[in-house]
Structure 1
Amino acid sequence: MSEQISQRELRNDSGRIMRALDDGNSFVVTRNGRPVGELRPLRRDRFVDAVTVAEVFRHAPSLDWDTVREDLDRHADQDASPRG
């Protein structure tokens, strides 16, 4: 849940707010008690090495590729004709 902060708090306490954004917190900015905007941290690109990824998925169930293809055929438009 986002913390609500007033326009005045944003101006006067920007250092704390920026540190909180760095920590992943979000804020709803209000003016005269009414929400007017949202401050949220940017998603950061994070590098995960291949060994870690392999370990995370090591115990994942194997895929039945026939079922995957059937699901794709059922839900994705496979028509090759131009759209427009």
Structure 2
Amino acid sequence: MDKVSVRELRNNGGRVLQRVADGETLTVTMDGRPIAELRPVAGRGLTAAALLQRWRRLPIVDAARLRADLARVMDSAL
């Protein structure tokens, strides 16, 4: 987790908040000590219709190819 000072937050507030909006969690420090945490607000859940639309766009998984790929990269000694 990256840190930003109170001074940086004051002087570059827009940039700092854009980093948070982009998904970063930041620790705000004062005199080198952590005093606060900035993190994105949890997003609202998707509707069932939106989830179904995403699900329909997922690629079809070929189980035989997946097993072959896993067998190729896995260490059978484990």
Identity %: 34
Matched, 1:28 2:27: yes
When the two structures are superposed, what TM-score results if normalisation uses the length of structure 1? 0.56
Q: Deviations over 1:30-83 (max 9, x none)?
A: 010011110101011142424246547xx8xxxxxxxxxxxxxxxxxxxxxxxx
Q: Which residue of 2 aligns with 1:19?
A: 18
Report how many aligned residue pairs link the two structures. Answer: 57
Q: CA deviation at 1:7?
A: 0.6
Unmatched 5+ residue regions in structure 2? 62-78
When the two structures are superposed, what TM-score results if normalisation uses the length of structure 2? 0.60
Structure (1 or 2) with the greater helix fraction: 2
Unmatched 5+ residue regions in structure 1? 60-84
Tell me how large the CA RMSD over aligned residues is.
Answer: 2.1
**Mapped partners of 1:52, 1:34: distance in 2:** 46
**Mapped partners of 1:41, 1:50: distance in 2:** 22
